A and B are shown apart, each in its own frame.
Chain A
Amino acid sequence: MSKLDYDGPILEIDKLSISFFTRLREIPAVMDFSVTVRPGEAMGLVGESGCGKSTVALGVMQDLGVNGRIVGGTIKFKGRDLAEMSDEELRDVRGNEIAMIYQEPMASLNPAMRIGKQLMEVPMIHEGVGEKEAYDRALEVVTDVKLPDPARILNSFPHQLSGGQQQRIVIAMALMSKPSLLILDEPTTALDVTVEAAVVELVKDLGEKYGTSMLFISHNLGLVLETCDRISVMYSGEAVETGSIGDVFDKMQHPYTQALFRSIPLPGADKNARPLVAIPGNFPLPHERPPGCNFGPRCDYFEDGLCNENKAIPMYPVEGDDRHDTRCLKFQEIDWNAPMEVSDSKEKAEPGQVVLKMDNLKKYYEVAASALFGGKNKKVVKANETLSFEARESETLAIVGESGCGKSTFAKVLMGLETATDGQILLDNNSIQDIPIESRDTKTISNVQMVFQNPFDTLNPSMTVGRQIIRALEIFGVGDTEEARKQRMLELLDLVKLPREFAGRMPRQLSGGQKQRVGIARAFAGDARIVVADEPVSALDVSVQAAVTDLLMEIQRENKTTLLFISHDLSIVRYLSDRVMVMYLGHVVELGSTDQVFAPPYHPYTEALLSAVPIADTKVEKQHIVLEGDIPSAMNPPSGCPFQTRCRWKSEVPGGLCEKEVPPVRVLDAGHQVKCHLSDEILDRMEPVIKVAAE
């Protein structure tokens, strides 16, 4: 079928309701959802996990599986109702006129087929063009997605490419047939920040070049701000607010949108003076939604008798704005400009004496070329290179870096799962770098504990929550009797603000945030003095992130814990850390107090990192720095400065010094050190990356 000329809206979703049918009941996943995407428009769909945003995308693709069914409303694509199309017509539309890009690039590519073949398939199937022409088109598109050496890429297999390159190929594949609508389902969640920034920019540019309409699904408000024209905020299966980016971000008309913005760390939030406001309560389960407004029980403006009346709430248009709707009964009564109630600001804890000291720590791995017979060809991977820093009591030290920067290796060495190759780790002036965990005494082990990233993985699924905490107590030798340990376990549950009944629950009965709280309780079971938190909130929903972060801060204040906070999310790092250490390929490239690191002079990598992080604030102006290429492999690091392959300041250093020598550590101000060859003069010339426009 030829692509008809059509100038109405590309996609019209009208009062769409989708339900899943399980053994026990019907579970409504999406209710009364309406959205219109005009040609060339990018629509953002934002919400927490389980709010139904991906279900909408699958509904548009008519791919709901055996259990899912559209129970009401219509989806019109270019004026044609998708539900009335035959399978054949649908096949023609999918991939040809509507293309979809998923979160995990490796899962969308066939690992046994060369890239070129996979790309050529698209026009050969949909348009029946010849092999030669298809190859030319593939070459053109791969050039468009800015991949180096397109001919070689076409001839390679998916596993030979990095994650960022794979995602570019997936985008190229989606664009092969020049679709009218592109659905992106969390396209960059699996990528590193600097790579994400480059992919997002690519998507934006291509959208403009090809005039494609986009449906951009994300949980990241900052990302939506950077890519979309319009936004629809979803909560518990419903759109709660729809409008243009400007209207929704600056003149929000729904309490959920407001609460969402207050729970993310924007520049200006501060853990002591202006803490984040977590949304109280939990996300309702799809079959336990409250009567009336779904957000009612968690809403600050809740009015009994009005908001919980058992009646569906329609979308109300906001007058004066362009297509700005809200699903709130009280939006005209609420004073949206009222300042946020500042909850009791807390005393800043003063850092005490040095608890942990790293001195020139090195960790090298020897990797044999092949497992069985590669005795001779050993390669050395330098996972950590001369790591030196100090951490004090009740201080938060953030360790920032992307994948492969060596932050996990560092955590392993500190925990004793690996021993150091060289250098020293001093814990209270005792060196522990050579003592593996089996030979450490219980005190040392319980002093240094860890909180893990993935809440779904952090608890053993076949043991009750209480049992797991009691086990940690047993190992740390806390309590003499079973009874005493049980008592302590209940106190720990109190500490992390979980109800005591949770002791008897299985992990699968807990939400992600609750699991993460149990993980924190377990880490503090032996009164840990140093806690390594490995991205503890990055897998959680925004509204839960604030609550868990707050909890960590509170426990830290009470116990004077030293927190080593590993993260790639600079917004949250700026919010909660006292000092920041930036790592790249095993090197510490910058170290200093939070203010020093977030203000110029920067290390060039810090600068790029700051620019790459999406910020959900229309008032923030960012300098636009996009790094070329990918992070080099630690197996084969570049010569000289590790960052020289992607550095935009490299030309400012005379004599190709960057390629020859690893830069020395230079102390700029008190406690601010940078590993860079740039002269002081150039460093002073740097401008701040993030500027908050005056209101």
Chain B
Amino acid sequence: MDPLSWGEILVQIFIRFTPVWIALLTLFVVSIFYKRKLGLYGKLFDSPIGMVGFALVMFWVFTAIFADLIMTHDPLFQVSGMKNKVPGTPMSSTAEEGMFTHYLLGGDNLARDVFSRMVLGSRVVLLIAPLATLFAFMVGITLGLPAGYYGGTLDTVLSFLANLVLAFPVILLFYLLVTPEIVLTGLPTFMAMFLFVFPLVFLVILFNSRYFTQTTKRNVLVATVLIVGGSLYLSTISQPGTPVNFLPPGLDMFNIESGILIVFVSVVFVNSPTVFRIVRGLVLDIKTRDYVAAGQTRGEGPWYIMLWEILPNARGPLIVDFCLRIGYTTILLGTLGFFGLGLSSESPDWGSTINAGRRLLSVFPHPAIAPALALMSLVLGLNLLADGLREESLKD
């Protein structure tokens, strides 16, 4: 078979992404049709910048969802004779029957399909980055609210700790966390224990403060959170082979690969102080409003005021920051992968593949360029989306 020209490669890639195009088109048509009824999300479709950003982000989200349909090859499968082949190379004769006829974006130094790895990599990135950001927000919000609301010594202590973490060099911290000796002491697991408890605390306080006047409703909600969240929490932190391993195997629902756990913990750890500072600043402003005083004078508890009166009104800046922060986290994941920290070397995530590709960059640039472009477009999309949201939320 003949190698494909660049035009043909692009056409083929375009065809492979068909499910994504269909999903994007449907989403946009429906959203634009109903945009006046969709609040801030609908307003996004009035801003060209926001629309472009949203399209880029959703492109990768849909890619992650439909990755199995889009991939042309098994991303871990090596085909002999395809090592470092340029994009558009037809499959070598050793290939099995029924395989896709070409490596669309060439092969990497282990003769795996670059295109398929890039597509599957989106799944890893889009799973870890938003989730880690969400956890960072949970930690930052749960600590930032009381720091801003109560002020005084609590604020001084928490702000000092946040500054301490911020002042610590990130890369050094990561290196420390993955050092085998440190992993053996169980430090990452203990940090996970500490950081992952925040969402649980957050949700329990959230429901308790709101519904404590209606005991039954409160009990049901809090119990649900505690049982579901609690078992998830215990399963997450209990890992065989670490100092924290207390659940019998039957109750331990899942184990997270220790590499991913460490990446997750470090990303949450370095992001939460920044979120803390943003939340604290917003609370300092909003707590002077009369509706907060109204809550106080009718005898509301402090947590109700923080979570139900203040937090919803701080959502605008927080949503924007959330988008931007997913971008940072994605880059951070890439950086970590690039340093060979965290995820396993086989992982198709973009950071690791860029790192793997860099050694032969001057001879065979394509294995590194494809994931680099993917990473760039996602971060760009998130930034544009955040810009669009900020711009539209200010307009009326």
Residues of A whose CB lies within 8 Å of any CB of B are: 22-23, 372, 415, 417, 437-438, 440, 442, 445-446, 449-450, 452-454, 457-463, 472, 474-477, 482, 519, 522, 526
Contacts and interface: CB of A to CB of B under 8 A. Distances in A.
Given A452-B290, A454-B290, A460 B298 contact: no
Contact of A450 (B46, B294, B315, B396): B294
B213 interface: yes
A445 B214 contact: no
B299 A437 contact: yes
7 contacts: A415-B297, A440-B299, A445-B297, A449-B297, A458-B294, A474-B213, A475-B213
B298 A445 contact: yes
Nearest to A452: B290
Nearest to A444: B299
B315 A462 contact: yes
Contacts of A476: 298
Contacts of B396: 22
A619 B27 CA distance: 69
B297 A450 contact: yes
B290 A457 contact: yes
Contact of A437 (B46, B294, B296): B296
Nearest to A457: B290
B98 interface: no
Contacts of A526: 298
A445 B312 contact: no
A225 to B, nearest CB: 32
Contacts of B296: 415, 417, 437
Interface string B267-298: 00000000000000000000001110110111
A459 B297 CA distance: 14
A460 B297 contact: no
A459 B298 CA distance: 13
A45 to B, nearest CB: 25
Contacts of A23: 46, 395
A415 B299 CA distance: 10
Nearest to B214: A474
Contact of A462 (B293, B298, B313, B395): B313
B318 to A, nearest CB: 13
B43 to A, nearest CB: 9
A209 B308 CA distance: 57
Given A417-B296, A462-B315, 14 more contacts: A22-B396, A372-B156, A437-B296, A440-B299, A446-B298, A450-B294, A452-B293, A453-B290, A457-B290, A460-B291, A462-B313, A463-B312, A475-B213, A475-B300
A472 B296 CA distance: 11
B391 interface: no
B252 interface: no
A462 B293 CA distance: 16
A285 B395 CA distance: 18
A40 B290 CA distance: 44
Nearest to B302: A438
B294 A522 contact: yes
Contact of B291 (A442, A453, A457): A457
Contacts of A457: 289-291
Interface in B199-251: 213-214
B309 interface: yes
Contacts of B290: 452-454, 457-458
Contacts of B289: 457
A146 to B, nearest CB: 34
B contacts with A: majority SS: helix
Given A23-B46, A440-B299, A460 B213 contact: no
A475 B297 contact: no
A445 B298 CA distance: 6
Interface in B160-191: none
A534 B308 CA distance: 24
A131 to B, nearest CB: 40
B309 A460 contact: yes
Max chain B C-beta neighbours (<10 A), residue from A445, A459, A461, A475: A475
A243 to B, nearest CB: 36
A607 B301 CA distance: 44
A460 B214 contact: no
A511 to B, nearest CB: 16
Contacts of A442: 299
A459 B294 CA distance: 8
Contact of B213 (A453, A458, A477): A477
Contacts of A445: 297-299
Nearest to B314: A462
Interface string B123-161: 000000000000000000000000000000000100000
A407 to B, nearest CB: 15
Max chain A C-beta neighbours (<10 A), residue from B214, B297, B308, B395: B297
A452 B46 CA distance: 37
Nearest to B151: A371
B291 A458 contact: yes
Contacts of A462: 312-313, 315
A454 B292 CA distance: 12
B40 to A, nearest CB: 12
B368 to A, nearest CB: 44
A460 B312 contact: yes
Contacts of B298: 445-446, 449, 472, 475-476, 522, 526
Contacts of A458: 290-291, 294
Nearest to A417: B296
Nearest to A474: B213
B299 A438 contact: yes
Nearest to B396: A22
B209 to A, nearest CB: 11
B52 to A, nearest CB: 19
A120 to B, nearest CB: 35
Contact of B313 (A437, A438, A461, A519): A461
Nearest to B309: A460
Nearest to A455: B290
A446 B294 CA distance: 12
B297 A437 contact: yes
Contacts of A474: 213-214
Nearest to B211: A474
Contacts of B214: 474, 482
A22 B299 CA distance: 42
B213 A459 contact: no
Contacts of B294: 450, 452, 458, 519, 522
Interface string B33-49: 00000000000001000
Nearest to A482: B214
A417 B294 CA distance: 11
A458 B290 CA distance: 5
A548 to B, nearest CB: 16
Nearest to A371: B156
Nearest to B156: A372
A250 B298 CA distance: 47
A344 to B, nearest CB: 33
B165 to A, nearest CB: 21
Contacts of A417: 293, 296-297
A442 B300 CA distance: 11
A536 to B, nearest CB: 11
A244 to B, nearest CB: 39
Question: 10 tightest A-B contacts by CB?
Answer: A457-B290, A452-B290, A462-B312, A445-B299, A474-B213, A460-B291, A458-B290, A415-B297, A457-B289, A450-B297
A458 B293 CA distance: 9
B299 A475 contact: yes
B284 to A, nearest CB: 14
A463 B308 CA distance: 9
B66 to A, nearest CB: 35
B390 to A, nearest CB: 17
Contact of A459 (B291, B300, B315, B395): B291
A654 B192 CA distance: 77
A386 to B, nearest CB: 25
A382 to B, nearest CB: 23
Contacts of A472: 298
B310 to A, nearest CB: 9
